[in-house]
Amino acid sequence: MWKMPGGDGGRRRRRIHFSKLYTFSCFRSSFGDEHSQIGKKGYSRVVYCNEPDNALQLNYGSNYVSTTKYTAWNFIPKSLFEQFRRVANLYFLVVACVSFSPLAPYSAVSVLAPLVVVIGATMVKEAVEDWRRRQQDVEANNRKIQVYDNRSSTFSETRWKKLRVGDLVKDGICYVETMNLDGETNLKLKHALDVTASLCDENSFQNFKAVIKSEDPNEDLYSFVGTLCYNGLELPLSLQQILLRDSKLRNTDYIYGWSKIERKMDKIVYILFSTLVLISFIGSIFFGAETKKDIHHNRYTRWYLRPDSTTVFYDPKRATLAAFLHFLTGLMLYGYLIPISLYVSIEVVKVLQSIFINQDQDMYYEETDRPAHARTSNLNEELGQVDTILSDKTGTLTCNSMEFVKCSIAGIAYGRGMTEVEIALAKRKGTDLPEQSGQVVDSGKPIKGFNFRDERIMNGNWVNQPHSDIIQKFFRVLAICHTAIPDVNDKTGEIYYEAESPDEAAFVIAARELGFEFFERTQTSISLHELDFKSGEKVDRTYKLLQVLEFSSARKRMSVIIRNAENQLLVLSKGADSVMFERLSEKDRLFEDETKEHIKKYAEAGLRTLVVTYRELSEEEYSQWEEEFQKAKTSLSEDRDVLVDAVADKIERNLILLGATAVEDKLQKGVPECIDKLANARINIWVLTGDKMETAINIGYACSLLRQEMNQIVITLDTPEINALEKHGDKEAVAKASTGSVENQISEGIVQIDSVKESSVTFGLIIDGKSLTYALNKNMEKSFLTLATKCASVICCRSSPKQKALVTRLVKLGGCKTTLAIGDGANDVGMLQEADIGVGISGVEGMQAVMSSDFAIAQFQFLERLLLVHGHWCYRRIAMMICYFFYKNIAFGFTLFWFEAYASFSGQAAYNDWYMSFYNVFFTSLPVIALGVFDQDVSARLCLKHPMLYQEGVQNTLFSWPRILGWMCNGVIGSVIIFFLTANFSIPQAFRKDGQVVDFEVLGATMYTCVVWAVNCQMALSINYFTWIQHFFIWGSIALWYTFLVIFGSLSPTYSTTAYRVLVEACAPSPFYWLVTLLAVISTLLPYFSYRAFQTRFRPMYHDLIQTGRTPDAEADENSGELPSRVKDKICHLNARLKHRES
């Protein structure tokens, strides 16, 4: 790329003389004999650069990218395979196939039609989603790119999909944004090797030939091992020399997570299958017995059935065979017990629920223009069943907008003012807040990242301090030891910084504000405007940048090796105190005790700290180390990263302490209130943070995670005994003592909680990273989990990303309850993927956590509404929807069984074929979808006002087996009432004025009318929150039945068969038809209505109490913040149940 991209408002990135960067397109190879180890890290892959003939011989794959799930050729077979993996769909496919045989009790077309509608609708959905993916692929593959042509010695334009391995392309500049790859918005440093930096124009590439040996293509975006063979040299290639094409990984679209409700739903389907087999078996036994009786002493009992002239399906002489064939017929006849439209209806409902979540204005964050986003719709109801939340701290509870507020230099603390945590700490201790007015220096307009106030070192006053030379070195380290980019505004001349982390930006800004302005960097140098403490004037100084040892979560530090203008070689290093103090020189440990004391105070104030050090190198020492470092970097072994870290560790020794930094990461707005509300909902909250224990505890108090009345259980290995063993270096003794110590502390904690079990005392558990390592051992993890689950809040300090994931897995598998993990950064991805539900915060650390999550929100405070409102609603809607689905199908299916029993199990269906086909698809499906999308037991305001309501989902009250079986029994009772009332009232007497009695067609139409009315009115009784859409769907479904009966009945008897003019000529003119319908529907609804009336009055559920509490007196209670007395009693009962379950 020939020029740097410009920015808005005249901002431009400072020109960096790293050369016009060219990269080699290296893509996935085909599998060949020489690639027997492909995929294993360390296998050397060969790429010939700028040699098209050699590249063709290697037969590598093309650059064409496809992220679609289907192709034009495999869409139909593959999509059908996906659909018929579901047991219910497979069953109906088998039934449809068998319906072409004489065994079928109805026509094949009437069975195929609903199956085609359901499967077709799902396939259309899949096709639309895949088409969108294809459109994105076409756009990516047809992007234009400049590729070097050896014949013309120029760059010519081509498309991405036509690139070949080894082609030389113009692709970018030194700093790139990888948002399309990993979601990170921070810029990454990319630069060419020194030997290729001189290749600046097209002619210089004419004779360029090189060979790259590298690891095989893999999915790891954050490591690369390779060597460039050029001009007889072997040069190491790392992540800084590779530019990845902006691949769009979409494997998430092919993974289907199943919620706990859906897993139980599958069990219910199996129960219905078992019921289907059972009633078919019962029917076949009775049919076989009755058939066998039809020949008795060579006489025909039911002579009118002509048993002397019949088929194998009814042959008294072969009654056993006839019974078996009847069993097969029954499996098809009673198949309407299985809801064919259940799965597709749930998919539609969940998609619509997700749209409502996405469009919720109360979860929209205007400052960053980010709404909530449901990245998957499969787990909506799980949001209403969360038992434990595991949260990151930085960027999740806090803003991740770092401000430099304090520092310790040469044992002296600098920085005035108080942080939010300090203020909360002072209030907790009941101490007065100190006056700051006379000590604070006004610095003019606010500066992002800098909230430091101290007249002693601001405005150049640091030159008058006793240790001005150390202060100079301190801020010089902050100005040089980083990977930030200067960004100059052409109009104002102001310098902004793009950094890999907010901390790093805050350090560079602090150095600038205190006289050390970083203004330019090249591949090999960094330049500063410095305040010289001797002359007091600004001078420009350039430092030669020799090596950058980057920060990682394992290293917990960053270092640079530079050469200054005085030709001194220096190591400048900053990092966590847990790794830096042990690297200090034994001789140069001045100010160590004072610095540690300041760090402790900063941690108590909720600040993030780093230790700042340096050391001077000799030429000989650096030369030896550089040779070893280059050897490690060029290694193609699997453990190259380990070798590089080990060599880097050697140079980061014998450091000289300069001081420590303290930056503040303020709590996000609404975090304390949100955590308090979630705690009141009896959701357990765990915070997994890398902060020190003191910082984590005080942040816990500031955000209401820990409360004043809460007893603390602290598990730590920071004891004199363990520290003494660590100094002796006996690792086995340390491990043994640590294991015993952690085990004892866990046991003591359990005993402490059990001793006050009957009281209302709550506990908070705090455990440090070292202790957590031992607590997660196989022989101790169960007892640790037992202790943790007995506590209301848990804080895991000094946790690594791996420990976060392990803790999340332990809670998920050990507790068998729904877990939710929430985080904002790449180090939270493992935790999000381990949890049942992952929620990503779209914060300043980029979007990688969001891309690995199921739901995305912009602020932690929105989690309250996501769970307590949308989670509760979605859980209730899905649970009610599934229960109702099974109810209506059982109510319909068992009328077929009762009719069969009435008709001697003849195999004759009670209804017209098309009545049965359209039952699930048209006459009862839309109201249940409306229930799943719109129903609310209480309003959003009341959901938030009464967080204990959320426990209905945690305890799975609305989808427990008693409730499911209750709905199924309601369906059976409804079928009994409808059939026997209709049959007994209709059959014995005249139905019409002319004296005609009810025939088969009229009885079927009457029963079906009663079923349609009953199940739709049952829906009306079950709904708590009516909208015009629900009214339209419920009464419209009933009206649609009558419309269908009129239109379908007007067709020729060849098509309409038993429905021919049955409503117009037979049913509608008869008052008896309407009377029976009214009586049957009222009688069917009466059991449920009576049960709900009794339950609401004498054994109310939590939402019943809130609903019935909406009286004038209760309103007064609400306005005063008090719950109705019955709600309080119910909550006390709930608390007792929870304690019993936990014990």
Q: Which of 1109, 886, 1108 is nearest to 1018 (CA)?
A: 886
Determine contact, residues 574/610, Cβ cutoff 8 Å. yes
Determine contact, residues 1015/887, Cβ cutoff 8 Å. yes
Q: With H, G, I as helix, E, B as strand and everything else as coil, classify residue 188.
A: strand
Q: Mind giving me the DSSP string for 19-64?
A: -S-EEE---PPPP-GGGTTTTSTTPPEEEEET-HHHHHHTT---S-
| CA gap 992, 478 in Å, rounded | 98
H or E, element range at 645: helix 640-651
Q: Mind giving me the DSSP string for 752-816?
A: HHHHTTTS---EEEEE-HHHHHHHTSTTTHHHHHHHHHTSSEEEE-S--HHHHHHHHHHHHHHH-
Determine contact, residues 896/333, Cβ cutoff 8 Å. yes
Alpha-carbon distance values, 181 to 142, 177, 220, 846 (Å): 18, 9, 11, 11
Determine contact, residues 1006/1077, Cβ cutoff 8 Å. yes
Residue linked to tokens 């915070």: 687
How many contiguous H segments (helices) and E segments (strands) does the chain have? 38, 33
Alpha-carbon distance values, 227 to 195, 699, 991 (Å): 13, 47, 94
H or E, element range at 407: strand 403-409
| Residue 315 annotated in active site | no
Q: How far is CA 964 from the centre of its chain?
A: 29
Q: With H, G, I as helix, E, B as strand and everything else as coil, classify residue 258.
A: coil
Which residues are CB-neighbours of 896 under 8 A, at least 6 positions away? Answer: 333, 334, 336, 909, 910, 911
Residue linked to tokens 């959320």: 950
Q: What angle do CA 931, 341, 1049 make, to 5 degrees?
A: 100
| CA gap 873, 937 in Å, rounded | 8
| CA gap 338, 258 in Å, rounded | 20
Alpha-carbon distance values, 6 to 13, 127, 191, 732 (Å): 7, 40, 19, 58
Which residues are CB-neighbours of 416 under 8 A, at least 6 positions away? Answer: 436, 439, 440, 453, 454
Q: With H, G, I as helix, E, B as strand and everything else as coil, classify residue 541.
A: strand
Determine contact, residues 596/603, Cβ cutoff 8 Å. no
| CA gap 846, 839 in Å, rounded | 14
Which residues are CB-neighbours of 625 under 8 A, at least 6 positions away? Answer: 647, 650, 651
Query: What Rg do the C-alpha atoms of the chain give, in angstroms?
Result: 37
Give me the catalytic one of 392, 828, 836, 935.
Answer: 392
| Count of residues making up the chain | 1143
In terms of DSSP bridges, do strands 525-531 and 538-549 run parallel, antiparallel, or are they unpaired? antiparallel
Q: What would the two tokens of residue 329 be?
A: 């017929």
Which residues are CB-neighbours of 833 under 8 A, at least 6 positions away? Answer: 805, 852
Q: With H, G, I as helix, E, B as strand and everything else as coil, classify residue 667.
A: strand
List the beta bridge partners of residue 485: 498
Determine contact, residues 64/141, Cβ cutoff 8 Å. yes
Half-sphere exposure of 944 (CA within 13 A, CB side): 14
What are the catalytic residues?
392
